[in-house]
Amino acid sequence: MLSSVSALKAGRRAFAAGVARGMASNSTAAKSSTRHISPSTYSALEARLNITFSDPKLMEQVCTHRSFEQGRLASNDRMQWVGKRVLNLYVGEFLAAKFPNLTVEMLQDMQHANFGLASLAEVAKHFGMLPAMRWESVVKEAPHVGQTKVLGKSVQALVGAIYQDQGAAAAKKFVAQHLLTRTVDVEAVVQMKNPKLLLAALTRQKGMQTPIARLMKETGRFTSSPVFVIGIFSGVKMIGTGYGSSLKMGEQRAAKDALIKYYAKEVKDFKLASLTGDEEQVTFFDQPSL
């Protein structure tokens, strides 16, 4: 009887081990199948982005995160480190020139909101980089965890690769064509909890006349749904308008409108120092005397 029980237990253990081996082999096969990416995928990506690297393996490295194969293969780590700093320079310079009235804190928030890893991940998808990516999630049960961060860093790595392989001019051109043309939302980063206080401080700082609120239009004052249109003036110039169901609400919205108009002011025609000029064309010799 005991021998029969022992044999039964041994059989169950053997069956469980066999199932485990089968699951492991299936998992390995599935994992290895997802890792195989055709070289044509990378050449197609280069063609789509109009990039020709000197090394045909470079785009593959751009799309290889250090988590892949436990870091045994060449990854995009160093390219990403360089590319992040290249992007910070060109994007920061662009935003500072385009929106001269934004504070440093607002510029930082705008750069993070519009050119941070989450936004760059969407750029990577637009580029078609997702099918070319080689990476492994730290959460095996959730293979998509970390994908946004990995994709965002891949765009930084791409900029870094262009910078290192083709030089600063090529990297500037790529950033200008593919990233600086995107629409940025200024209002989203101009957080104003106390717009009237901020407007009063701003007008004092700029030497402007103290803001005055004026009722421009109203309807339904003695009904359950009144609407008041308020204008904020500095001297004779109306600098903001707003409406609300009360005079206070309209005044607050008008103050916020005035602040947004000031901070969101765009310079349409400007030149970036890093995108203009040619070192070879600059000389300190007196040309006629040469």
| Cβ contact 126:177 at 8 Å | no
CA atoms of 126 and 34, how far apart (whole Å) = 21
CA atoms of 261 and 259, how far apart (whole Å) = 5
| Cβ contact 29:39 at 8 Å | no
Contacts of 3 (CB under 8 A, 6+ apart): none
Whole-prediction pTM: 0.72
CA atoms of 61 and 39, how far apart (whole Å) = 12
CA atoms of 290 and 272, how far apart (whole Å) = 31
> Three-state SS across the chain?
CHHHHHHHHHHHHHHHHHHHHHHHHHHHHHHHHHHCCCHHHHHHHHHHHCCCCCCCCHHHHHCECCCHHHHCCCCCHHHHHHHHHHHHHHHHHHHHHHCCCCCHHHHHHHHHHHHCHHHHHHHHHHHCCHHHCECCCCCCCCCCCCHHHHHHHHHHHHHHHHHHHHCHHHHHHHHHHHCCCCCCCCCCCCCCCCHHHHHHHHHHHCCCCCCEEEEEEEECCCCCCCEEEEEEEECCEEEEEEEECCHHHHHHHHHHHHHHHHHCCCCCCCCCHHHCCCHHHCCCCCHHHC
Other residues' Cβ atoms within 10 Å of the Cβ of residue 159: 26
Looking at residue 285, what is its pLDDT?
A: 52
Looking at residue 268, what is its pLDDT?
A: 81
Looking at residue 30, what is its pLDDT?
A: 35
| Cβ contact 240:257 at 8 Å | yes
Q: Across the strands, what pairs with 240?
A: 232
pLDDT along the chain (290 residues), means of 10: 49 49 40 63 93 92 87 86 95 93 91 93 94 83 83 96 94 94 84 88 93 95 94 95 96 94 86 60 50
- CA distances to 78, 123, 127 from 178, in Å: 22, 9, 9
